[in-house]
Every structure is written in C-alpha cells, then in structure tokens.
Structure 1
C-alpha cells in the first residue's frame, strides 16, 4: 500500500476521480462487502477527528470488508491507482479539517424525489471508524454534553434507534437531511473536543506531552 506521505498523494481529487473511485467501490471487481463512497467518507472522517489518528495500515483493509476480502484487481497498476485515490481522499479530508475555518462537507447521497440528503451510509462508516478504538472514544460517550454531538450519528446508523424513531412518528428522511446539514459544524466540533482532551492530558503534572499527528 502506498504511504499517505508520498508527494503524489497530496494532489486534490477531481470530480472525475471521485466518480471513478465511487464506481469501482460498487463494481463487480470490489468485494460485495466493500464500502460505498459515502460510507468510506464517513469512515475516513472518524479516523481524522477522534481521540487518536490511527495509521492507514490499521484500517485500510476494512474498506473492502471486515473479513479480509480483497478486490479482483486487473493489474498491480490498477490496485496502486485505486488505493492512491482512497489515500488522496483521506488527505483531502485532512486539508478540509485543517482549513481556517474548516471546510468539511460530508459526502452523502440525494433523494431526488424529495430533494433530501441521505446520510445513513455516511453514519455507518463513521461509527465503524469509531469501533476501531472504542476505548478511546468512550470518554465522549460518557460525557453528558459531548455525547450530544455524536448521538445523532449513532442513532442514524443504529437500526433499533431508527425503528423506534419511526414508530414514534419521526420522518427519518427529514432527520437524515437535517443531520447532513449539521455535520459541517458538528464534525469540527468533535475534533476540537478531542484536541482539548489531548491538551488537558499533556498539561497534567507528571505526564509527558502527547503528540497528535
């Protein structure tokens, strides 16, 4: 797998390249359990805004499934190209989150009939991303105020929560649309929470400084 530090991986993805990646993720060459582009975007976002940024080697294989599935590559060149697009999306997200102010936008689908954003797949990806470091994310889950940032994402991804909301008369499509509209502010705020937690730990007496990459 190429390194996310390689210079060629720093170029911004074009719309054509994003379409190419999205098409491959849903092609017959990709395992049936592969993430789609929206789920991948949510998954990568969780890696970048959480308590610690995990190395790509620790999560990259999950793009294709949770049981070691691999695409049917036509060639080594195709493999390097598609993997490079994924890592460039990762780096593009980093740039969006580091911008002042952050320019983060979730990559979601559109219900054209109702003109509403569909964010469920994105939320699936985000929560899968948090599951790689459940212990690390737990302080936010235990914080009565901070958990309000992530609970709508969790509820959107959780089938039981969705079924209960629907039984109570909630319009899930409108809920997803409203959540998609809120994420450009929610995601940077989640990141700020973890940055503040890291700074607080580093400033405690008797503890060494912790570097965030």
Structure 2
C-alpha cells in the first residue's frame, strides 16, 4: 500500500473518525481516538513499521472483529482517515523540532489530562513486535521513559500506585505533559540503532 502526501486531518475529520470508532458499527473492543493515537505512535516510532494491513485489523479489536461498514465507500473513507492520521504522526516527528502532541482527553471538572487510553494504545502498539522492542526495554534510560506509559496502561500498576497514596489524576496529567519530550527520544533511539546496523557503503572504485 503506497502512501501519498495528504493534509493533516481537520477537526471535522477527527470528529468523523472518533464518531465512527465509538459507533454501533464497531465492537466493544474497538479503539477510541486517543487509544488509536497511542497505538499509531508506538508503531511509527518503533523499531520497524509493519504494513498497514498488519496493524489495521488491531484497531477494531484484538480478537479480529470487523466493523459493520454501511458500504464499501464508507470503509474506504474510514480506512483513509486512519492512514492519513498515521502519516500525520510521521510528519510531526521529523525535523529538529518535533511537533508531537498526544491526543488525550481532558477532565472537564478539573482540567487535567486523561492519558490512560493513549497509554493503553501505545502498549498495544509495542505488543505488535515485542521481540523487536526488547532492546528498548533493556536500555536503562529508555526503559525509564517507557515505565510510566506502561504503568498508566496497566490496571495492577494503577492499583499499586493508589495503594501507595499516589494521585493518579496528577500522575496522568504530568505524563501527558512529558510525552512530547519522551516520544522524540524514543524515535531517536531507534533511528540510531538502525543507522548503526546499516551496512557501510564507503567502498572506493578502482
């Protein structure tokens, strides 16, 4: 599947995609928009990018569910929005000054960011290639950056934090603020490994 340059999704298109993901056309296991953003982020910055066909099915649910599209045209439209969303992420992560911002929910009463869904999506993205992600888990600095993301996604870790007296809402808000710095570091880690593994091509011609 070839990509072509596309404009970022407009607010109306994001609303359209969010509405479909949460509609009766999808199953209970379908990702919502924030979880999708976390999922796509992990795939985009990770050690290798699978073909869209490999990860698109995961959007609808881990058990291989498929949405009840009203028509082939609607299916094409929704899948196109998701692929553009994926490409948009790549555009946000390139350059010396990445413009990455996680798409998270906000608690209307407190104004704090809610990042659990995003983190769960990110965790699902790493689970697409656990062995490939292992070097990041084995690197002390990177593992320290990943730990709060995985803890935020994990119910048992959240229960342990609550038992220790931690304020989960404050933890999530601070994590959301840190993600624009964490994600470019992860991307740089994998890019450095790819460059180090690339064969040298500096042979002289005689």
Q: Do they fold alike, i.e. is TM over 0.5?
A: yes
1:5 to 3, 6, 9: 3
- Alignment partner of 1:163 out of 159, 180, 198: 159
* 1:59 partnered with 2:55: yes
Where in structure 2 are the equivalents of 1:66-105 lying within 5 Å?
66-105=62-101
Structure 1 residues 90-133: Cα deviation after superposition (integer angstroms, max 9, x where no partner): 01111101143100000000011111000000000000000011
1:175 maps to 2:171: yes
Partner of 2:44: 48
Q: In the TM superposition, what are the counterparts of 1:136-155 in structure 2 within 5 Å?
A: 136-155=132-151
User: What do the CA deviations read for 1:28-62 (whole angstroms, capped 9, x no partner)?
Assistant: 01122100000000000001111111111111101
What is the aligned partner in structure 1 of residue 197 from structure 2? 201
**2-structure distance, mates of 1:99, 1:20:** 29
Q: What is the match of residue 190 of structure 1?
A: 186
TM-fit CA distance, 1:183: 0.3
Task: Mark the CA change 1:72 to 1:163 in structure 2 (over 3 Å): closer, same or farther.
Answer: same
Contact 1:106 1:184 in 2 (8 A): yes
For 1:9-44, what per-residue CA distance to the aligned partner results, in whole angstroms no more than 9, with x for missing partners?
x12210000001001100001122100000000000
| CA RMSD between the two structures | 1.3
Count, aligned residues: 201
Within 2, Cα distance between the matches of 1:159 and 1:67?
A: 20
Aligned to 1:25: 21
**Deviations for 1:159-199, whole angstroms, at most 9, x for unmatched residues?**
11111111000000100000000000100100001111112
Q: Provide TM-score, normalisation by structure 2.
A: 0.94
